[in-house]
Structure 1
């Protein structure tokens, strides 16, 4: 599976299959010998850390296709799960359909977007998602799930919880409003004056390319940790001790902190263990310098968590999905805490 994960980790699956059409997926999963195996669905592999060989069936999602319908209020995009997300964002703007520009250059495929409820620069997928199409293994059929049924949260959805083993995403439905409003209150985008969608897109691309390493050159999975959300009183106490600490809006009574800033202030920017390192430009990203093992990356991630906790009293949660022999390993970084 080395070509199928952006960390470039050497790992193998017991079985593997590329899925190019829905009929093939249905036929495969109608057979008990395949349906009952542990499954790992991979699109771009940009949010995975393969900790070991996988004992089940790896499904490589290559479903393609984009369809557009239009109403007086919005454009409605039906996007197959295997479509490249950065290419989709660029294409939608080229077609004169703004609304995704803040989500530019987030690596991965469209089918991964609802799993994590991807987001950047003040916009989340949940704001434009109408529905998610999936193959329901319990019913043996394709289903259309309205966005509200997916329980989207900060880098969360039911596809990471109760639906993880029962639903395979095959497509997503997006609604882009024609009455477009720029979303540029977050971070460096606030510097833009009356920007167009193209202006925001260009600025987001510039920011991401300046800070985030290209996985084709330096193995990584993007942001490794989530930005922690804490009670406002705790955030205010930290802000009093660290006046330069960034704070962002969150739910009532809560505040969101910048995990990258916390890691950098803990003195870990550029820190390495073996061939695994905290990126020199963006502390939120862990990188494979070449030939790193999964255990080196996991050890580094644990060290980052422990160091930040010792400095700020906060445990960082990982955003990257860590896969074990039979599925996702949710407690992978708890060891040694």
Structure 2
């Protein structure tokens, strides 16, 4: 375990932005993590936790000790004829974990195929896609207190999951390092194929009696058709959250724009696709030097190479202002600005 100085983080953020960490350490176990947190040399030094970097926008160098949790492992801790409980290290690549579950026939995360990032970041964001959110399968989250080095296990309820939110992004932001999560998955899965183009894609694939592998394959096909691969074009997936607005506001919006899509959240709230709003405001395919808005998905901001986080942040603010002016809706970023 070695602390390095002036380390480029270009390969540790999916935007491919060239920012430096003043100090950097890779930790491969909870013991290594607690040791560095309790080390008197680093005790009072500012710290920054960086996992897969799939949901951050680096707008500057990080003047801190950047800790990269690289804790691996997938372990069965409980199993019945119906379910299996898995303990998973925070450093596992999320999609690799999903594929492991698909291969084993464990249902519950197949709709979350191909989401970039690590297992440790997944509960922080309460990642979700195609009708499924991670909170539906999480039993608990293990984390270490940055201040004390103490280990704490958070129950599902204590994680306070919301739409792309958790307690780790709100009340406990920058206070804990997630080291692992425990998932309860089904060995007799109930498939979720009703969202978006999933059913249509399954039909095109000829999957008349789909399995979780078919669901996963369909979702990967859809995502690849709409979203750029970060290995080819720098991006962090969906840049903005889909806004949720009151029913009355949606009714007024629908009068002015009859084509606007809306999805009821509950009796009082409607979710409006942020990508649709951005596209209608004229931003889809927009390019400004080395950065821009993806040509196939307006919800994705991209770095074509050589762009800066500050430039992407400025573009996002222009988009927010434009959408607010046209539709009266304020978009909130899903990506975390650093």
1:23 Cα deviation after fit: 1.2
1:219 Cα deviation after fit: 0.5
Greater shift after overlay, 139-148 or 312-321? 139-148
Q: TM-score, normalised by structure 2?
A: 0.92
Deviations 1:13-43 (A, max 9, x none): 1110001111111111012442333222112
1:139 Cα deviation after fit: 4.4
Q: Secondary structure at the match of 2:68?
A: strand
Equivalent of 1:156, from 150, 165, 169? 165
Q: Secondary structure at the match of 1:296?
A: helix
Q: Secondary structure at the match of 2:252?
A: helix
2-structure distance, mates of 1:294, 1:136? 29
CA contact (8 A) 2:138 2:181 kept: yes
Q: Secondary structure at the match of 1:77?
A: strand
1:142 Cα deviation after fit: 1.2
For 2:184, the equivalent position in structure 1 comes to 175
Deviations 1:159-211 (A, max 9, x none): 01121222110000011123421112211124356532122111110110011
1:138 Cα deviation after fit: 4.4
Q: 1:303-314 residue pairs with structure 2 within 5 A?
A: 303-314=318-329
CA contact (8 A) 2:110 2:215 kept: yes
Deviations 1:112-167 (A, max 9, x none): 00110000011000000000001123443211110100100000001011212221
For 2:6, the equivalent position in structure 1 comes to none
CA contact (8 A) 1:77 1:174 kept: yes
For 1:187, the equivalent position in structure 2 comes to 196
CA contact (8 A) 2:94 2:115 kept: yes
Q: 1:287-326 residue pairs with structure 2 within 5 A?
A: 287-323=302-338
Give the unaligned 5+ runs of structure 2: 1-8, 203-207
Equivalent of 1:97, from 98, 103, 106? 106
1-structure distance, mates of 2:261, 2:67? 40
Greater shift after overlay, 195-204 or 282-291? 195-204
1:221 Cα deviation after fit: 0.7
1:239 Cα deviation after fit: 2.3
Count the aligned residue pairs: 323
Moved over 4 A (4+): none
Give the unaligned 5+ runs of structure 1: 324-337
For 1:142, the equivalent position in structure 2 comes to 151
Q: Is residue 269 of structure 1 aligned with residue 278 of structure 2?
A: no
CA contact (8 A) 1:274 1:296 kept: no
CA contact (8 A) 2:240 2:335 kept: yes
Q: Sort the Cα spacing of 1:280 and 1:97 in 2 relative to 1 into closer, same or farther, 3 A.
A: same
Q: Sort the Cα spacing of 1:190 and 1:256 in 2 relative to 1 into closer, same or farther, 3 A.
A: farther
For 2:205, the equivalent position in structure 1 comes to none
1-structure distance, mates of 2:51, 2:192? 28
1-structure distance, mates of 2:211, 2:264? 24
For 1:117, the equivalent position in structure 2 comes to 126
